[in-house]
């Protein structure tokens, strides 16, 4: 029997604190209009001092479990995508498993930067299609605010915190139609976050903050996401007009608009959360997907294209019949 991975529940969490462009402009040389014109961001959420990737993931995960009317003990696998784990080890997945009090499942993290949730969905899909797992919880959870240098205008304006989740179940109904993931380490110097504890003599002075060469990243991202759209549609023998919704990684309005143009989609068909959330890295696609499911824009039967691009470089897509 052929199984599909079908989304049966979604969830999301955003911290309470809102940090506006105006607030940032009080500490670095920028302004609300400068930030908004270049990124499309007006504000972002900042995790509280006692919040962690696992605590935010727990809230999003419980929402997805409730929406899927699932007993937590039915979950066979938990995959957490994060670049800001609570600890180096154990994994944030294991910490989330403990928070959810689930005993009989496997839990682990994956790290693919902003593409993390797409990579996690791809892995989950393979587990379900192979028959190894029947229910898989996928979460993207990030506290980017703790790896941002708040004196660096080029990066501090971009990032925010949050967690998004989906619960997948084996089904004979179509769900995830295909996933496509890629990476190319050649560009690692354009976007990276050092680990000071693992530093060599040559780079031991580097602080553990995000470093980014924005213009170069922008050019590669636009070209790469254009190719992933073509690849995804070709793999499914599908025309652009058959895609109902684009749910992109929320990094920059101009990158999102370029991808929508490639699909010949109106921006009315694009789920946008960037303005009031910023770039929440691996959480962003699932947060946006959850929002559109819960406000009923995305309906059962709709074809949804999720895509993301991140440090590595990594990039990928998931085509879903919701």
Residues acting as catalytic residues: 114, 249, 279
Residue with tokens 């895509």: 307
Q: Are 37 and 85 in contact (CB under 8 A)?
A: no
Cβ–Cβ < 8 Å for 250, 288:
yes
Shortest CA distance to 209 belongs to which of 191, 187, 221, 185?
A: 191
CB 142 within 8 Å of CB 282? yes
Around 278, how many Cα atoms within 13 Å sit in the side-chain half-sphere? 26
Angstrom distance (rounded) from CA 317 to CA 270: 15
- Does the CA dihedral 250-252-255-257 come out positive or negative? positive
Residues 6+ apart with CB under 8 A from 121: 138, 166, 168, 176, 179, 306, 318
């Amino acid at each position: 029997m052929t199984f599909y991975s079908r989304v049966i529940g979604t969830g999301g969490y955003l911290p309470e604190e809102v940090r506006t462009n105006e607030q940032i402009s009080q500490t670095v040389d920028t302004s609300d209009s400068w930030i908004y014109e270049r990124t499309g961001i007006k504000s972002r959420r900042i995790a509280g001092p006692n919040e962690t990737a696992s605590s935010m993931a727990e809230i999003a995960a419980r929402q997805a479990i409730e929406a899927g009317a699932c007993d937590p003990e039915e979950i066979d696998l938990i995959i957490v995508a994060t670049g800001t784990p609570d600890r180096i080890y154990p994994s944030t997945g294991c910490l989330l498993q403990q928070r959810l009090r689930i005993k009989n499942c496997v839990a682990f993290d994956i790290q693919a930067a902003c593409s993390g949730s797409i990579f996690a969905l791809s892995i989950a899909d393979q587990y379900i299609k192979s028959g190894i797992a029947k229910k898989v919880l996928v979460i993207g959870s990030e506290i980017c605010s703790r790896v941002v240098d708040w004196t660096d205008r080029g990066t501090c304006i971009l990032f925010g915190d949050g967690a998004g989740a989906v619960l997948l179940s084996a089904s004979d109904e179509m769900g995830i139609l295909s996933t496509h993931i890629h990476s190319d380490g050649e560009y690692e110097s354009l976007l990276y976050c050092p680990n000071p504890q693992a530093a060599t003599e040559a780079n031991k002075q580097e602080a553990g903050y995000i470093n980014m060469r924005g213009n170069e990243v922008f050019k590669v991202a636009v070209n790469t996401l254009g190719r992933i759209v073509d690849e995804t549609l070709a793999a499914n023998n599908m025309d652009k007009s058959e895609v109902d919704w684009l749910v992109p990684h929320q990094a920059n309005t101009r990158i999102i608009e370029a991808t929508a143009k490639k699909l010949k989609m109106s921006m009315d068909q694009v789920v946008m959360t960037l303005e009031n959330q910023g770039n929440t890295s691996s959480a962003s696609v699932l947060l946006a997907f959850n929002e559109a499911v819960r406000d009923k824009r995305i309906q059962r039967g709709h074809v949804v294209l999720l895509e993301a691009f991140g440090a590595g470089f990594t990039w990928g897509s998931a085509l879903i019949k919701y």
